[in-house]
Chain A
Amino acid sequence: NAGVTQTPKFQVLKTGQSMTLQCAQDMNHEYMSWYRQDPGMGLRLIHYSVGAGITDQGEVPNGYNVSRSTTEDFPLRLLSAAPSQTSVYFCASRRRLAGGGVGRTDTQYFGPGTRLTVL
């Protein structure tokens, strides 16, 4: 049971380049999300998904795309990287209770992060 895995661990891009940050979980969690962490800002939600085929925007979605074709994977795409997207990116997952509700005490598991630098 690997939990939540993210690749790559480090990435340097030039402005305008595109890339995909990978996230996978093996806990059969319905809910997955992407956050970015900047100094002094805590974590901010970019996009989230409550199940395969369902995604929605978080606090800071501009410049990022997501899709969820399987329960296990939730990739984050940067179509045209900008220096403002330099950050540490974390993927997280948790289970979703039957009936659609999300348990208030469900544990959210985070991946180890991807450190992205855009020059």
Chain B
Amino acid sequence: TQLLEQSPQFLSIQEGENLTVYCNSSSVFSSLQWYRQEPGEGPVLLVTVVTGGEVKKLKRLTFQFGDARKDSSLHITAAQPGDTGLYLCAGARGNFNKFYFGSGTKLNVKP
């Protein structure tokens, strides 16, 4: 069983639509990161959130860490075809030496 559950697993939307991806756990994390991965490449870090309730914005992407530091969400406004990719959340526990990844959300934005 995965420590972090992501939903949905797959998402196919039209350009211009909004979407939210969820990352949930029953465990508390010291920090949580979101990555984007393109086919044939390694994940690339988008953001790190460390404080319960924290909200970070990266252009059209909004990231939120739950108050209890057990969950997180990624909201994309007005999605574009360039947003297509696999989105992964990863949580660190304890001394930050181990990161636990969710299974990922595969996003396809159609023009």
Contacts and interface: CB of A to CB of B under 8 A. Distances in A.
Interface of B: 2, 4, 6, 9, 30-31, 33, 40-45, 48, 50, 88, 90, 92, 95-104
Interface residues of A, number: 29
A101 interface: yes
B97 A44 contact: no
Contacts of A104: 30-31, 48, 50, 92, 96
A50 B98 CA distance: 11
A58 B90 CA distance: 14
A90 B30 contact: no
Nearest to A31: B97
Interface in A41-92: 41-45, 48, 50, 56, 58-59, 90, 92
Nearest to B42: A110
A33 B43 CA distance: 14
Contact of A59 (B6, B41, B100, B102): B100
